Copies of this chain bind each other. A is one copy, B any other.
Amino acid sequence: MRSKDYVNLGMVGSGMMGRYHSVAYSTIPVMFDTSIRIKKKVIADANEELAREAAERLDFEEWVASWQDLIGRNDVDVVDIVTPNDLHAPIVCAAAAQKKHVICEKPLALNLEQARAMHEAVSRAGVKHCVSFNYQKTPAVLHTKKMIENGKLGRIFHFRGQYLQDTGINPLTPIGWRHQSSRAGSGSLGDTGSHVISLAHFLLGSIREVTAMSETFITRRPVGDSDGEVDVDDAVSFLCQFEKKALGIFEASRFCTGRKNRFSFEINGSEGAVFFDWERSNELLFCNASAATSEQGFTRTVIGPSHPYGGALQRIPGIGMSYVDTVAIMLYEFLQSLFDRGKPHPDFSDGVAVQAVMEAVQRSASNKCWEKVCY
């Protein structure tokens, strides 16, 4: 076996995403055929207690009580940022200035301008960058990408993407940072819609223009004994034209009773079609339009060794596919890029592109006109 490629990791934040990333780092050497080994050097959180606990739980060697103390350290190669959205820009820019490679949670920024500045910062610094649109690394999605490239779907007519949840319906759910534009940038649009947009970019390319509609169904929510204003969207939908002439229809909502984590897409082309729903992350439906009419329809394939990364993670087909698996693939590819000089995907240019669509959607929802996307 070749000698190991060690990467020293610093993490900022230790919430749910911090945990998932942490397990993913442990998964990489075990499940992939790789010489990469990750050293969990230091973790930062909002205060001493949180940081210490995080270090113990996530098995980091050290902890610091502010991200500023982390990004300057010589023993950190990569900074993984799993914080609320408003902290992305300052940490990224400071880390880039310290020549750290950066991984940043999605959406990249609070707005397009900020996203561009972040992209410029990492580009100028010459560091590698990744924005955590991990769902793109779902084997079913990677397989779809391959099928499109191989012409298996033919000319594409329709893209239909949704991310539907029911998390907003209870009016007693207190205000959190996800309800505030100053901290989140937007609501369902950035939180879950951004995943759908990044996916559409990955599979079909650029979006020319959009017409959108959004709504805030519950405008005030409890804060302690009082209440506060929700100034982000609870739901957003838009139609679009892709540069490649396909029609797109998108929806993200926190008000879909009965839908827990429905991140789904369907693509209809002249030669075939696919359907995917993350709630059945293990499955890809594929329709082969050249099958005999009497045998035509969506075939439910279960992800296994014959699909991308199946040989690593899904050696028995149907063995189960978790969120962590997709994060592991994304981080693995990113870490690889540090050594093989490849371009990781998705990177900040993808993050900026998503932000450009989100801004066009917000403009259109506000002025009720079709809006061009300014990538």
Contacts and interface: CB of A to CB of B under 8 A. Distances in A.
A370 B306 CA distance: 42
A260 interface: yes
A239 B241 contact: no
A215 B247 contact: yes
Given A19-B31, A370-B368, A241 B253 contact: no
A318 interface: yes
Nearest to A271: B257
B298 A299 contact: yes
Identical copies in the complex:
4
Interface string A242-267: 00000101010101111111100000
Interface in A177-223: 211-213, 215, 217
A297 interface: yes
A284 to B, nearest CB: 9
A320 interface: yes
A182 B346 CA distance: 49
A229 B84 CA distance: 54
Contacts of A228: none
A244 B158 CA distance: 29
Interface string A278-313: 111111011111011111111111101011000000
A86 to B, nearest CB: 21
A360 B300 CA distance: 37
Contacts of A260: 297, 302, 304, 316-318
A336 to B, nearest CB: 16
B213 A213 contact: no
Contact of A315 (B16, B143, B215, B249): B16
A53 B1 CA distance: 8
A219 to B, nearest CB: 13
A285 B295 CA distance: 9
Contacts of A57: 29-30
Contacts of A58: 29-30
A213 B215 contact: no
A4 B52 CA distance: 14
Given A158-B235, A249-B251, A272 B299 contact: no
Contacts of A215: 157, 247
Contacts of A239: 211-213, 237-239
Interface string A13-45: 000100100110011011100000000000000
Nearest to A236: B247
A154 to B, nearest CB: 8
Contacts of A332: none
Nearest to A300: B297
Nearest to A255: B157
Contacts of A368: 211, 369-370
A258 B298 contact: yes
A136 interface: no
Given A157-B255, A282-B280, A300-B300, A56 B1 contact: yes
A142 to B, nearest CB: 11
A169 interface: yes
A68 interface: no
Interface stretch (A96-104, A111-119, A124-132, A322-330): A322-330
Contacts of A19: 30-31
12 contacts: A4-B56, A23-B27, A30-B57, A157-B217, A239-B239, A258-B298, A260-B297, A260-B302, A280-B280, A288-B295, A294-B306, A298-B300
